[in-house]
Amino acid sequence: MASFSVASEAGSGENKRVERLGKNRGGYFGENLEIHAVLKDLKAAAQAQGWSRELVYLAGNLEVFALRKRGAMGARRVYISAGIHGDEPAGPLAVLEMIRANDWPAGLEFWICPCLNPTGFFLNSRENEDRKDLNRDYRDTETGEVAAHIRWLERQPVFDAAFCLHEDWEANGFYLYELNPDQRSSLAEAMVSAVAPGCPIDLASEIEGREARGGIIKPHLDPGGRPLWPEAFWLLQHRCRLVYTLEAPSDFPLAGRVQALVTALKTALGMLR
């Protein structure tokens, strides 16, 4: 299968206003990735741009890998993950677009896990091939995938900021979660403002059962009271005190969702340098 090009669908990479498709009724019924092709393209793009690659674990015959771009001494450390749900294709494609563009702010170094659940993409499913939601397994870990990912994370340094790229099939627009218990300078409003010209923002006062304001959710933090931890909670407890989960609205065209994630991420990285 030919490799996927976001720019060809989005109009030379421009972030255009997206309209709701009305496909997602009771679940995600949008595009699926040819994950073999996407992973091949990610490896090729990373190699061409000088990223190092490390195996995190094997999922069947597929490598789940991490990419590393080193920075100068004293550079701020950034972690990015995508593809933990197999029905959320925009995240891995956003990472691919950014690596191909190679437009990273100076003064930062990066660790990226571009696709944490490749078997889920075969099924176009949130879960892995064993029907386990990996993003609810970071506390009392049961899956081999998350156990391996945690072992890899434990070998890494503390990060200055972390970004988990997601989609929400029910969302009316883009929104994000901010975990910021130390009240550091927030990146949230800037990300939402940057995304808004090209993608609707979910302005509901409640999203996913949580209070929201202007597309931003700031959960009341009590990880100890949550039996099922997402990746973001593990990061908060062990590796990073500023964690963002970015949610593109997956009932909209794929190219627009990819560009929403790219725009939000580039905005935040520009503020971190």
Specify the pTM: 0.93
Mean pLDDT value across residues 88-102: 98
- Establish if 1 belongs to a structural domain: no
- Asked whether residue 6 is domain-assigned, the answer is no
Confidence of residue 128 (pLDDT cuts 50, 70, 90): very high
CA distance 4 to 161: 29
| Residues whose CB is less than 8 angstroms from the CB of residue 197 and which lie 6 or more positions away in sequence, other chains included | 15, 17
pLDDT tens-digit series, residues 131-188: 999 999 999 999 999 999 999 999 999 999 999 999 999 999 999 999 999 999 999 9
Task: Supply the CATH number for residue 77's domain.
Answer: 3.40.630.10
Residue 5 domain-assigned?
Answer: no
Range of the domain at 192: 12-272
| Strand 76-81 to 108-113 pairing | parallel
Joined tokens for residue 117? 């659940």
Q: How many CB atoms lie within 10 A of CB 220?
A: 7
Residue 254 lies inside a defined structural domain of this protein? yes
Number of domains in the chain: 1
Q: What is the distance between the alpha carbons of residues 210 and 218, in angstroms, rounded to a whole number?
A: 9
In a domain, 36, yes or no: yes
Does a structural domain hold residue 29? yes
Please name the helix (run of DSSP H) or strand (run of DSSP E) that holds residue 148, with its range, or none.
helix 144-154
Exposure b/e, 7-16, CB count within 10 A at least 16 = b: eebbeebebe
Residue 44 lies in a domain: yes
For tokens 């990066």, the residue is 110
